[in-house]
Structure 1
Amino acid sequence: MKKLLTALLFAPVIALASGAGVHLDKAPDVQGDNAALQSGARTFVNYCLNCHGASFVRYSRLTELGLTEQQVKENLMFTAVKIAEPMRIAARSDEQKLWFGAAPPDLTLVARARASEEGSGADWLYTYLRSFYVDEKRPTGWNNTLFPNVGMPNVLWESQGLQELNKDHHLELLVPGKLSPAEYDKQIADLVGFLVWMSEPDAGFRKRLGFGVLAFLVVLFGVAYPLKKAYWKDVK
């Protein structure tokens, strides 16, 4: 029983090292869309933060997504008292080691860690979270086409519904969930977008700064080149 619980706990980490050579669906880019990132944050704290922490990000950073501190405290901050605290899980690491044999992995950098030649970390996560299907042969009753024999159950099955793998090895919706397939894809896109944002919250500022520097250099060149010609015009 202890081995099974440990396998379930570390299934996401194992999955990060699997799936090479498998087609990855392109994850929608929702960076800069605060409404989508807020939706992803809500899904993360409700479904992921129960077991996996994001201890390199503080709750206060969620205000950068267009939320007020009060909104963060009332709707997203379930495992801390002060908004400046990191996004840790409620259970202590020593308790989890006692229950499962090891503490669960932190998901702060999961989107960056999965980047590979097959696609970005966002593409892998987007494909993985939409590829669960019912498999009675597995201990949890779930399997995944991207990561065969995965130990992690589909925690979002109520939203997605139940998928099966048909004889052509294609996923087919067996029982509809609370969301339509398009709505579920949007939920996963928002969640993945939040994981991407969380892995580098300053990425947007860094890119804007880069464009600003390039624009400055273009203007500087426009001024410096005529000055250079005027300075050296009498030099043979």
Structure 2
Amino acid sequence: MKRFLMVLALLLPATVLAAGYSGPLDKANIDQSDKASLQRGAQIYMNYCLGCHSMQYQRYQRTFEDLGIPVDLGAELLQFTGEGPGSHKFSAIDREGAAEWFGLAPPDLTMVARVRGADWLYTFFRSFYVDESRPFGVNNEVFDNVGMPWVLQEMQGVPRKTYERRMVDGEMREVYVGIKSDGTGRLSEEEFDQAMLDLTNFLVYTGEPMILERQRLGMFVIGFLLVLLVLSILLKKEYWRDIK
């Protein structure tokens, strides 16, 4: 029995991971040094996402300063709580009510990029489609049966799964070719993709605000270790020179 329980415990994580999305992900070519992209991503998040999804582990002021936004201007245009810029980013939604409306309270997204990865987020944002069987009329290819409305529809338009008749194995068939907007959104397809890239960029920053500093220090550390390696080799040769 003990061996059975040990094997079950080892296999359980693999079973859980297998239940998630295993399809291809689009590459999110983000640039953490692009302040304009980060500012646009912050604007999208504050206006469309923060109403439900908190970022309780980060303060407004830290975001404004890191992204090169004047604190007073950021508080005026991107902070809607009426509190000071030193406050944390809590959503205004009632969690008990949200759990009843959506089936689960909307999660905090401070660390979502660390958990999911940039490619997953970028693909997720561009994978909503109309599904009349769902409570909010939409579903998502990456997150099946997602329990949230598509709040960025006014930017993208109405996204639908698209099929084309193509020759397959000698006969004409309806082939799925992807999700396309009906063109009613205020952004073109290219502009919407860029907006989702900006939003992904901002979420990656939020998950690790010191990422550029960490990478910069990492280069110095690697350089130091390489120099130390060379000196250690030369020192070893010096010690062993007279030993035959």
TM above 0.5, yes or no, is yes
Note if 1:218 corresponds to 2:220: no
Structure 2: how far apart are the matches of 1:24 and 1:221?
A: 39
Residue 158 of structure 2 aligns to a residue in which SS?
A: strand
| Matches for 1:172-211 after TM superposition, within 5 Å | 172-211=180-219
Q: CA deviation at 1:48?
A: 0.5
Counterparts of 2:231 and 2:82 in 1: how far apart (Å)? 54
RMSD across aligned C-alpha pairs, in angstroms?
A: 2.6
**Counterpart secondary structure, 1:165:** strand
Q: Secondary structure at the match of 1:218?
A: helix
Structure 2, unpaired ranges of 5+: 1-16, 164-174
Which secondary structure does the structure 1 equivalent of 2:79 belong to?
Answer: coil
Contact 1:30-1:190 within 8 A present in 2 as well: no
Aligned to 1:136: 132
Match of 2:183, SS state, is: strand
Change (3 A) 1:18 1:191: farther
- Matches for 1:132-171 after TM superposition, within 5 Å: 132-167=128-163, 168-169=175-176, 170-171=178-179
Query: Hey, what's the Cα distance between the residues in 2 that align with 1:94 and 1:232?
Result: 72
Q: Give the Å deviation of 1:55.
A: 0.3
Secondary structure of the corresponding residue to residue 164 of structure 1? strand
Q: Write the letter of the residue equivalent to 1:131.
A: S
Classify the secondary structure of the residue corresponding to 1:125. helix
Structure 2 residue 80 is the aligned partner of structure 1 residue 78: yes
* Secondary structure of the corresponding residue to residue 160 of structure 2: strand
Paired-residue identity, %:
47
Structure 1 residue runs of 5 or longer lacking an equivalent are: 1-15, 115-120
Instruction: Summarize the Cα distance change of 1:182–1:207 in structure 2 as closer, same or farther, 3 Å threshold.
Output: same
Q: 1:87 aligns with which of 67, 85, 89?
A: 89
Partner of 1:13: none
TM-score, normalisation: structure 1: 0.79
| Secondary structure of the corresponding residue to residue 199 of structure 2 | helix
Say if 2:21 and 2:143, in contact at 8 Å, map to a contact too. no
What is the Cα deviation at residue 26 of structure 1? 1.1
In structure 1, distance between residues paired with 2:96 and 2:179: 39
8 A contact 1:27–1:189 mirrored in 2: yes
TM superposition score normalised by structure 2: 0.77
Q: Which residue of 1 aligns with 2:38?
A: 37
Alignment of 1:41-80 (within 5 A): 41-62=42-63, 63-79=65-81
Inter-CA distance 196–17: structure 2 relative to 1 (3 Å threshold):
farther
Decide whether aligned partners of structure 1 residues 172 and 83 sit closer, same or farther in structure 2, where only a CA change above 3 A counts.
closer
